[in-house]
């Protein structure tokens, strides 16, 4: 293991080797990228499943369920837990798509995390500066 501030490559970066994005642009401009894609394509057609997966993962977006917009009425006075449970029950009853319920429950979870951070900040302020009511 190297010491902080040192490198395991004492020679450093080779001269002329710029950022990766620059290298990609140079490969594209020089036609090398097209040749590389052609090789991967040929390998995929020859039965190389890794090459096929690589091409398909890059060429086709992952299929995602696209639910129609739904209107969900939640009790604003209810706790976040009660709201999440209401969404779960609505999905179980077929009233809203399960993917919509899952996304909304993730949002509730994020809000919960933010509320916890706010509460922690408030408690720290009280400890450091006294009662801030």
- Closest listed residue to residue 104, CA positions, set 58, 64, 52, 67: 67
Sequence-distant (6+) residues with CB within 8 A of 13 are: none
Mean local confidence (pLDDT), 30-45: 85
pLDDT above 60: residue 1: no
Q: 46-60, 63-77, 113-127: which has the highest mean pLDDT?
A: 113-127
User: What is the pTM assigned to this prediction?
Assistant: 0.47
Q: How far apart are CA 58 and CA 55, in angstroms?
A: 5
**Residue the block writes with tokens 């129609």:** 68
pLDDT one-digit tens code per residue, 5-15: 666 777 766 66
Higher per-residue pLDDT: 79 or 9: 79
């Amino acid at each position: 293991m190297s010491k902080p501030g040192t490198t395991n490559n004492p020679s450093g970066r080779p001269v002329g080797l710029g950022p990766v994005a620059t290298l990609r642009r140079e490969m594209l401009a020089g036609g090398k990228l097209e040749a590389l894609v052609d090789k991967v394509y040929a390998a995929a057609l020859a039965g190389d499943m890794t090459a096929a997966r690589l091409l398909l993962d890059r060429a086709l977006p992952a299929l995602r369920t696209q639910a129609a917009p739904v209107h969900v009425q939640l009790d604003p006075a209810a706790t976040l837990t009660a709201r999440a449970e209401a969404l779960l029950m609505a999905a179980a009853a077929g009233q809203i798509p399960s993917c919509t319920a899952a996304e909304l429950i993730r949002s509730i979870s994020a809000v919960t995390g933010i509320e916890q951070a706010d509460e922690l900040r408030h408690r720290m302020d009280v400890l450091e500066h006294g009662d801030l009511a």
